[in-house]
A and B are shown apart, each in its own frame.
Chain A
C-alpha cells in the first residue's frame, strides 16, 4: 500500500469520501484532465464501510472507470466522533501515579455556565468509574528524574485486576511522563505480559505535554476510540475488495492533514474531528479561489450550525478544543457550534414568549412540511412558507406540504400578541435565527481578536445559503459566498490535503537557561520521528516538508502562545527570532505584549511533517454555457410582502453572470437566496458571491 502506485499510467482517479450522518458524499478527480465528478449515496450507520464502498463504486461506475484506475482514497470519518458522543463508555481503565486516583473526579474543579449553577449542576459521570482507576507506586519530578522507582508489583496487580474484570482498553497517565517515558513504557510491558489482549494508550505517546488532567483525558479518549477505529478500518478493508484494498487509504485528521490507516489505528484520537476538518480544508480551497482568503464558514445542518475561521486561506487550529464534553488537547480545527439549524423548532415558552431552538425536529420526524413530518413548525417550514425554499426536497423528487407548514405557523401566530400573519411570523422566526447566528459569529471573532467586517462569510450545508446573505449584512461582512456543490465541500477538502504528522515534547526552559544544543537535539529527534512516520506511509522524502513550532509564555505566566520557529541552525539568532515571533504572536492573540520587558519561557517544542500532495485544479466553468436559465418565478416574502421573484437553476449560470436581488438560486441539495438590493456575481469557478445592497464593500 504505497503511493508508488500512482506512477502507473492507468491510475488517474483520486477519490474523496466524506461520511455524514445521513449521506455519504463522494468526489473524484481525474489527475490527467482535472475533471471532477460528485455524487452522494445514503450512509449506512450500522456499518459505515458499506456506504463508503458503495459510494466509491458508484462514482467509478458513473465515469465508466474500473477500480484499478484509482490512485488513492481519502476519507473523512465520524467514527471516532460518534463513538465519543454516542458511545456507551464501559470497560475503560486508567492507571495513575499513587496519590492521584481521583484525577478525573476533580478535573479542573470548574462548573460550567453562570453564577449559582453549582447548586443544581450535576457533575456528569466520569470517563472511567473510580473502581477502574488504579494507582501504581513510583514518582518522577518535572525534570524527569526518578524520585521513587516504579513499583512493579502494583502494576502487575492492576493488570490482573483489569484482566479479571475484562477491562480491555486501558489508559496510562503517570506524573511527568512527558519528561521521561520510562515508567509508562515499563507499565506497558508489564501489562502486556499479564494481559496480552489489552489495548493500551500511553500518555507519553498520545500527548507528551504537561497538565496531568488534560493529558489523562486525551489518553483515555484515545484508548476508548481505539477498538472502534480498529474494527471500522478492518471492515473497510473487507468491503473494499481485492483491488481497492491495495490502494493508499488515507484518513483525515482533526488537524487538517491526512495520515495512513496504519498511523491512525495507532493513535485514533487524531481523527476526533475528521469530518469537520475536511469541511474546513474544502473551505480553505474556496477561500483561495474566490479571492476571499479571510472567511468565517457557516455550516448549517438540521440541528446545529458549525462555525470555523479561515485566515489567509488556512483553517484556524486550536490545542484547546473538545469533542462533546471531553477536552482533547491535540491540534484540531477550531470550531464553534450553536444549537440552531434548519430543523430547529419555533415554540412558545411557559412565559408566553416566542423561542427558536435549541429543540430540533431533526431528520425524524423532520419539519412539518416533510412527508410524515413533525407537528411543530421548524425553521425550514418558515423558509418554505416564505417561498424562499422550493416546495420540493432534494432535486424535486419529494413534494413538500407548504399548506401544513403554513397552518402550523399560523397556529403559533394565533398564540402570540400582535395579530401576526403566518408570513410575518415565519419572517420573524428567520430573523431570530439570523441574529442568533450573527451573535455567535461576533462572539467567536471577538474571542480571537478579529473584526468580522474584515471577513467574508462562506455558507454551505443544507440549511445555510437560504439565510446567510442576511446574516452577512447583519455583521457588515464583505460578502456571502456559496461554493459550487456546497454539499460536497468536505469531500472536496479531502482531495486538497497534504499528509500531516504532529510531534511534540514538553521542555520548560527559561530564556536565561536555554541550552541551544539541547533544543537542537530535541528538534532533530522530533524531525526524525516526523520524517520516519511519513516515509513509513510511502511518502517520497523529496515531497516532505518539515515545520517547527514552539509553545512559549512569559516567565511566571501560564498562557502559552504557539508560534512558528525558524528552520535551520539553532543558534543565538534562532532564539532572537523565536522570541520576536512570540512577542508578535502574543500581541495578536491577547492585544498586548511585554517585548523587551519580560523574559520568556519555552514550554513545548513541536514539529509537523507534511507530505505534499499535488492539488487538483478546480475546473473553471465553461464560458460557452449560454444564457442563464430562468427556471420560473414565484412570490417570495421579503420584508413585509411577497415579491415576484425570479428562480434560477444554478448549473445554468455562466461565469461572470450578475444580477440584482431578489432572486432564488436552486440546485441539488441547496438553495441560495439573494435578498432585495443585494448583488450576485458568479465567479469563474461557479462560486456565488453575494454582496450587500449598494455594493457597500468591495472585496
Chain B
C-alpha cells in the first residue's frame, strides 16, 4: 500500500503570495471579519439544529472551519480540520461548483483528522468561476464501525479495529450525490440512519456557509476581500509576535510529560519531549526525543503539512501570556499563527509520528498532553506566569440490561478541575469542550437503572497553591441491576501538574463497590462487572495548583474548608492553617497564633525552594515501578 505523505517543501496545494494587490479598506475589513465569524456561527447553529448524534448535539463535539483558497484558516474561535488533503488529491482547477468532499483517514488527511469518528465534509467556494475559499465541518459521530460500539476500542492495536477509514473522496459531483459512498458508509456503521443524517446535516450547513462566503466576494470584489483575509491573518501573526512572544526571553527551554498507559501494554511513562527555542519573532518547537509509537491506540499522527494542525491546536495556550484574561479572550487564532512557529518532528515511528496502521482512537491523551507540555515549557520561560495543568479527558459509562431486560448504554464525558492561575483559583468541575454539558442526575435515574447518590466536588482534589487548582467531580452511582462499567481516561496515576510552587492535582479514579471491597480500576476498562446495590465512585482530576500554598490568604483557606473544597487536614498539611476545635455549626475558626507558627516552621524546614513544576506523588510512584491502580 502506498501511503501519500507531504514531500519536502513543495506542497501539493497553492502557496499564498507575499503581498496583496489592493490596500485594505478599514470599513470593509470590519464587515468581512464580523461576517466570517457570523458565517462560522451560522454553520454551527445549522448543524446543531439538524444533527442527530448525541456527541454532536449534547457533547458539542463538532468544529467548523472557513479557509481561503490557500487552505489558510480564517476564523479563530476554535480549532478545525484542514482542506489541504482534499486539494492535494483533487487539484483546484478540477473542482466544480456543487462538489463536496468527505474524509476521515487519520493518515491521509495531512494531520487534520485525529480519529476515525471525525468524518469531515469540505465544500469549495466559487467566485467568477474560480475557487476563492473552502468551508469545512466535522463532527464526532457516534459510530463508524470497528471492533466496539462507538468506534473507540481502548485496546486496539491497528486502525483496522477502529472502523472505516476514508481518504478524501467526492461525496457530491457538481451537485449530484455519490450514492456509492453513502452505501459503503451505511454498511460500515452500527447507526446507519443517524450517521447518514449527520453527514447530510453537515453538508447542507457547509453549502449554506459557502453561499454566504460567495456573497462577500460578490459584494466587495475578490481583490478587496482577499486583502481583508490577509489583514486578518496578519493581525493574528502580529499579536503573537509583538504581544505574546515578547513576554518570552530569547533562549532554549525544554521539558517532557507523559501518558501513563496505552490500554495494551503494562502501565509505563510514554514520554513526549519538547525543546522550545525562542528567537525574536519565531518559536521553534522540537519534539525530538519523544518515545516510540505505542502498541495501543494513543498515537497521534501529527507530522503533516509542516505541523499546521498541531500549531493551531497548541498555539491558543500562549494566549495566557496576554496582559489580562479579558485580552486573552479577544485573541482569535487563525492560520496567521503558523508564520510564528516552526515544528521539528522526530523521525517516523514515535507517539506523534506514528506509522500506519498504528491505532489512534485514544490520541486525545497525547494531543491534550501536548497542550500541557507547551504550557509547562513556556511557564519555565516566564517565571511560572502560566496556568497550571488541566488537560485530560475522560469517558465513563455503564451498560447491561435493565429490569425489563432491555439493553442500555449510558455514556458521559465528565469534566474536571482546571489549573490555578496567578489571578484566580482554577475552575471546579468544568469540561474543556465549549458548551458541552453533563447529565442531570434526574435524567440519569429516569433513563437508566442507576441511582446517583452523590454529585459533588471532590474534596482536596485540586492541587494546593496560592491559587489552588479547581476541584474535580465526585460522583457516586448505585447500580440497581447487575451491569458493567466502561472507562476511557488518562491521568489515572499522574495528576495534573502544579506550577510555580503549587501542587499537582489528584488523579482520576474509578472505584467499584466503594462501600465494600473497593476495587480501583485503571483508565482503559472495557466492562468491569458491577453488582446490583454496589456503588461505583468516580473521582475526576483536580487542576494543578499555582504558587506557594503557604502564601494563600488565611481567609480563603478558611472559606475552602467551610465550603468543603479543602479538608481541615489539607488546610493544616498543605496550607499551614490550623483551626480551633469545631464549634459544631460548620464554621471553624482559625487559630491564628498556631497558624503563624506552623507556616513559619514549614518554611524553615524547606531544604530547597519548591520546583517550578510539581508532578505529584503518582509520578514518583511510577518511577519506582508502583503502578497502582494496575490494569485489569
Contact = CB atoms under 8 A, between A and B. Distances in A.
A251 to B, nearest CB: 31
Interface in B328-351: 328-329, 332-333
Interface in A72-114: 99-103, 105-106, 108-114
Contacts of A449: 49
Contact of B27 (A108, A210, A432): A432
A112 B208 CA distance: 25
Given A212-B440, A416-B26, A442 B42 contact: yes
A113 B77 contact: yes
B455 A439 contact: no
B455 A142 contact: no
A423 B612 CA distance: 56
Interface stretch (A63-71, A118-126, A573-581): A118-126
B447 to A, nearest CB: 8
A695 B325 CA distance: 49
Interface in A642-659: none
Contact of A108 (B25, B41, B438, B586): B438
A114 B434 contact: yes
Given A99-B456, A436-B34, A113 B329 contact: yes
B197 interface: yes
Contacts of A436: 34
Q: Which of A120, A429, A591, A592 has the most CB of B within 10 A?
A: A120
Contacts of A175: 441-442
Interface in B219-244: 235, 238-239
A558 interface: yes
A418 B586 CA distance: 66
Interface stretch (B124-132, B312-320, B519-527): B312-320
Given A115-B77, A356-B30, A592 B429 contact: no
B79 interface: yes
Interface in B368-418: 387, 390, 414-415, 418
B434 A109 contact: no
A111 B434 contact: yes
A346 to B, nearest CB: 10
A449 B562 CA distance: 48
A676 B35 CA distance: 25
Contact of B429 (A106, A420, A589): A106
B23 A417 contact: yes
Contact of B441 (A100, A147, A351, A432): A100
B626 interface: no
Nearest to A118: B432
A99 B476 contact: yes
A117 B564 contact: no
A120 B387 contact: yes
B52 interface: yes
A116 B317 contact: yes
Nearest to B57: A559
B556 to A, nearest CB: 13
B35 A439 contact: yes
A558 B31 CA distance: 38
B188 interface: no
Nearest to B25: A418
A161 to B, nearest CB: 7
A123 B430 contact: yes
A101 B429 contact: no
A432 B34 contact: yes
Contacts of A112: 434-435
A129 interface: yes
A351 to B, nearest CB: 5
Nearest to B33: A353
Contacts of A123: 427-428, 430
Interface string A182-218: 0000000000000000000000000000111110000
Interface in B150-206: 197, 201
A131 interface: yes
Interface residues of B, number: 85
Contacts of B587: 131
B30 A110 contact: no
B255 interface: no
A443 interface: yes
Nearest to B421: A120
Interface in A501-558: 508, 557-558
Contacts of A120: 319-320, 325, 328-329, 387, 421
Given A106-B457, A417-B23, A432-B27, A446 B441 contact: no
A113 B325 contact: no
Contacts of A213: 440
A103 B442 CA distance: 12
A359 interface: no
Given A442-B38, A447-B49, A210 B434 contact: no
Nearest to A215: B442
Nearest to B36: A439
Contact of A119 (B387, B436, B457): B387
A416 B42 CA distance: 31
A115 B29 contact: no
A442 to B, nearest CB: 6
Contacts of A354: 26-27, 29-30
Given A417-B26, A432-B31, A109 B432 contact: no
A589 B238 CA distance: 43
B446 to A, nearest CB: 4
Contacts of A592: 50, 52, 197
Nearest to B375: A119
A446 B46 contact: yes
Given A109-B414, A446-B46, A129 B563 contact: yes
Contacts of A106: 428-429, 438, 455-457, 473
Q: Which of A116, A175, A420, A449 has the most CB of B within 10 A?
A: A116
A115 B316 contact: yes
B451 interface: yes
Interface string A398-414: 00000000000000000
B330 to A, nearest CB: 9
Contacts of B628: none
B457 A109 contact: no
A142 B442 contact: yes
A657 B385 CA distance: 67
Contact of B50 (A100, A353, A428, A591): A591
A399 B343 CA distance: 62
A436 B31 CA distance: 8
B328 to A, nearest CB: 5
B573 interface: no
Contacts of B438: 106, 108-109
B203 to A, nearest CB: 13
A464 B394 CA distance: 48
A-B complex: 10 closest residue pairs judged by Cβ atoms: A428-B27, A439-B38, A130-B563, A115-B78, A116-B316, A120-B325, A114-B77, A99-B454, A591-B50, A109-B415
16 contacts: A99-B453, A99-B454, A101-B564, A102-B455, A109-B431, A112-B435, A118-B430, A119-B418, A121-B427, A210-B440, A351-B235, A351-B239, A353-B29, A417-B23, A418-B25, A508-B446
Given A116-B317, A443-B38, 19 more contacts: A102-B457, A105-B429, A108-B437, A109-B414, A116-B319, A118-B427, A118-B431, A119-B319, A122-B325, A122-B423, A130-B562, A211-B443, A354-B29, A425-B27, A440-B38, A443-B45, A558-B443, A591-B49, A592-B197
Interface of B: 23-27, 29-31, 34-35, 38, 41-42, 45-46, 48-50, 52, 54, 57-58, 76-79, 197, 201, 208, 235, 238-239, 316-317, 319-320, 325, 328-329, 332-333, 387, 390, 414-415, 418-419, 421, 423-424, 427-438, 440-443, 445-446, 451-457, 473, 476, 559, 562-565, 585-587
